[in-house]
Structure 1
Amino acid sequence: MSLLVCAGVGSLNRRVAGLWQAHQGEVIGLRRGPVDPDLAFAQQSLDLSQAAWPDLGADVLVVALSAHERTEAGYRAAYQLPLLRLAESMAGWHALPSKVIVVSSTRVFGIDDGRRVDDDTPIDSPDRFGEILLAMESSVRQLPCPSTVVRLSGIYGPGRDWLKRTALAVDPNHLPANKWTNRIHVDDAAGAIIHLLAQEQLAESYVVSDPEPIPLLQMYNFFRQREGMPLLHPMPAVQGGKCLIPTRLQASGYQWIYPNAFSGGY
């Protein structure tokens, strides 16, 4: 029975754990907060930004952490410091995982002019938060075992309704810029991670997004129509944002559950 260690036990890694268990794998979760007895896998509570990562004999490791506060210090504690601790800890482990997957964000692509962005697009982070994520990614590349970064676009799914609330509250007389927006359902994000864990070899990084960027105001009208609200018009031209194309994930053979934001995930 192969052991998956999930660092972080949020909604994404809970799904990753469930998919792994469905194939008769074992899971141990590492989490900052107290152990949740309702989860169907073992857990250990520790601060991964400060404590040594335990040598649990993991066959594979998935790191999906999140910041509790949107500050530079919060980002460093959530993303950068844990990977530094992991690298230090691995030096004393008896056995290393066959694969490590670390969740990052497409925020590291600073492009905001509407251009196509794929896995080969040069990185140009626009802000300190993106730079912290890039520092984390640099630590991933220094790990002493096969490791890759998955850069997720905007996650949606149960309990994630920020975009819907924004769409319903928008003032039709003061529309925001109609930028490209990119989404990935949390079930596809988890499915893509499990799919990549099964690959023989991994690239250094993968864009994990659905393959169909959508204009932001088209998304707004999608929600407004479902709620019987007036649609936004006239629809301004699309200007800005980025068109994410997950070229490596597509080439690996992954089949999306929700290939675009209108295919049932909402």
Structure 2
Amino acid sequence: MNLFVFGLGFSGRHFVETERARFGTVRATVTEPARAESLAAETGFSVRAFGPESDDSRIAQDLADTDILLVSAPPGQDGDTALNRYRETIAGSRIGWIGYLSTIGVYGDQGGAWIDETTPATPKSDRSRDRLAVEEAWLALGAETGKAVQVFRLSGIYGPGRNPIVKLREGRTQRIVKRDQVFNRIHVADIAATLAASIARPRAGAVYNVTDDEPAPPQTVIEHAAALTGLPLPPAVDFETARLSPMARSFYGENKRVRNRLIREELGVDLTYPTYREGLAALVADAQG
């Protein structure tokens, strides 16, 4: 069984490295040719350059020799670049399972209410509207070809090297307080486990929320990280006066509590890190914070 990953980023690489033994051949893409060369040497995978200004000529042949396709690259200006360029190649290939990594941002603002996969997607930002359009495009390909396309809507991703502990240590986090604001999170290891479970139990057209059990205020997570490590706790900053980029500020405009019941009941996923507490504690114990 051969794997191809469009977009070997944080989540995609963790999945590949965790599940490497199940695949005969692993091929993947990054946007820059130099990065493709260095990653290939570092990982042993076949890494191709693919992006708005690069397109390795071997990708079409790779896709023809692929069984499992994971799409982890963000949308381009005109939708999903991979689907736009390789739709016919993918449609005519032996690929049987396709996973598209999306975001819970497609649900928009829910006023702090609990939601699940039956909640209509009402994206608020252009970024999330683009994501929803790409979800729909991949699902349409699956419906047309009979391939099992699944969409995975991810919460805020964290894990080794990318988490509040790192930000505290580097002095690049704010303890922002906005009344009643909560976010869900998901450890990268639990994303990998969910993808593996879906490959074992494919369901064409499925949409899954990949998220932890406990939405929590962002300042609470930072406080817990500081307590675990003994690192200095940044002063509390009111959201209205916080210095944030437009993108960062937009995240605070959406407030929801996301349920993950479907991945548990349908895929049998048992989260290793059901809340930020277990996830951060493991990072500290493994010295990976």
**TM-score under structure 2 length normalisation:** 0.75
Q: Secondary structure of the equivalent of 2:198?
A: helix
Match of 2:262 among 240, 245, 248: 248
Q: Aligned with 1:19: secondary structure?
A: helix
The question of whether the paired residues in 2 share the 8 Å contact of 1:32 and 1:47 is answered with yes
Tell me the residue number matched to 2:45: 41
Deviation at 1:216, TM superposition (A): 2.7
Distance across 2 between alignment mates of 1:78 and 1:207: 25
The C-alpha deviation readout for 1:207-246, integer Å capped at 9, x for no partner, is 111122223332232123233656989xxxxxx7211111
Q: Distance in 2 between matches of 1:79 and 1:104?
A: 13
Q: What is the percentage of aligned positions where both structures have the same residue?
A: 24
Cα deviation digits, residues 46-79 of structure 1 (max 9, x gap): 337875851332111011114xxxxxxxx53496
| Residue of structure 1 in register with 2:247 after alignment | none
CA RMSD of aligned residues (A): 2.9
Return the match for 1:121 from 119, 122, 129: 119
2:102 partner SS: strand
Where do 5+ consecutive residues of structure 1 fail to align?
A: 67-74, 234-239
Query: In proportion to residue count, which structure has more helix?
Result: 2
Looking at structure 1, the residues matched to 131 and 220 of structure 2 have their Cα atoms a distance apart, in angstroms, of: 30
Q: 1:65 to 1:24 in 2, by over 3 A?
A: closer
Deviates most, 149-158 or 29-38: 29-38
In structure 2, the residue matched to 1:16 is 15
TM-score normalized with structure 1 length:
0.81
What is the total number of aligned residue pairs between the two structures? 247
Q: 1:99 to 1:116 in 2, by over 3 A?
A: same
**Matched residue, 2:136:** 138
Cα distance in 1 for residues equivalent to 2:4 and 2:270: 25
Deviations 1:111-132 (A, max 9, x none): 2411001111111001111110
- On the 8 A contact 1:119/1:206 being kept in 2, the answer is yes
| Partner secondary structure for residue 135 of structure 1 | helix
Q: Does 1:181 align with 2:187?
A: no
Number of the residue aligned with 1:201: 203
Structure 1 residue 161 corresponds to structure 2 residue 169: no
Note the residue ranges of structure 2 that are not aligned, 5 or more in a row.
Answer: 237-253, 284-289
